[in-house]
């Protein structure tokens, strides 16, 4: 089953939750807290850096945290030709690869800006799905 089909089924079952944010400073960018009585599973997370820097500077860093533990970090160098997922014109996008993690009720999954250049902004989102605590994320009754 494709990821998009799986997520669309979770959306149809009203189990998909998401949060997004935009920032020019350090701190929380996008945060999700598992509802009481629910376990939450990380489905997708992405950040996009926008910079006006024309000189090579370093220091843009965003981390993906699961219940306070860093599970993945993205570092961006402004003004340097960025290759990979996307780049050019001062835009660099990164999709986090370390997905599938779970948190128990009331625990948190978030994107946090650790450092950011003075001419750089960052946008990000996290998307998760919730299941009743103790139930498997695979619910055959949800899938036709």
Give the residue-averaged pLDDT of 103-124: 92
pLDDT band at 96 (very low <50, low <70, confident <90, very high): very high
pLDDT band at 86 (very low <50, low <70, confident <90, very high): very low
Task: Give the CATH number for residue 85.
Answer: 2.60.120.20
Q: Residue 43: which of 84, 102, 94 has the closest Cα?
A: 102
Q: What pLDDT is recorded for position 53? A: 60
* Domain enclosing residue 57, as ranges: 3-133
Q: Residue 21: which of 135, 125, 136 has the closest Cα?
A: 125
Q: Is residue 94 predicted with pLDDT exceeding 80?
A: yes
Q: Is the pTM of this model over 0.75?
A: yes
Position 141 in a domain: no
Position 121 in a domain: yes
Position 139 in a domain: no
Q: What pLDDT is recorded for position 118? A: 79
């Amino acid at each position: 089953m494709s990821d998009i089909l799986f997520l669309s089924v979770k959306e149809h079952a009203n189990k998909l939750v998401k949060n997004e944010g935009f920032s020019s400073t350090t701190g929380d960018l996008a945060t999700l807290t598992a509802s009481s009585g629910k376990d939450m599973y990380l489905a997708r997370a992405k950040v996009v850096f926008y910079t006006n820097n024309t000189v090579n500077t370093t220091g843009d860093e965003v981390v993906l945290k699961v219940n306070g533990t860093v599970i993945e970090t993205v570092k961006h160098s402004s003004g340097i030709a960025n290759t990979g997922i996307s780049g050019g014109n001062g835009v660099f996008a990164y999709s986090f690869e370390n997905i599938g993690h779970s948190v128990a009720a009331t625990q948190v999954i978030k994107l946090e800006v650790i450092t950011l250049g003075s001419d750089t902004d960052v946008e990000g989102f996290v998307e998760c799905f919730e299941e009743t605590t103790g139930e498997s994320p695979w619910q055959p009754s949800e899938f036709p």
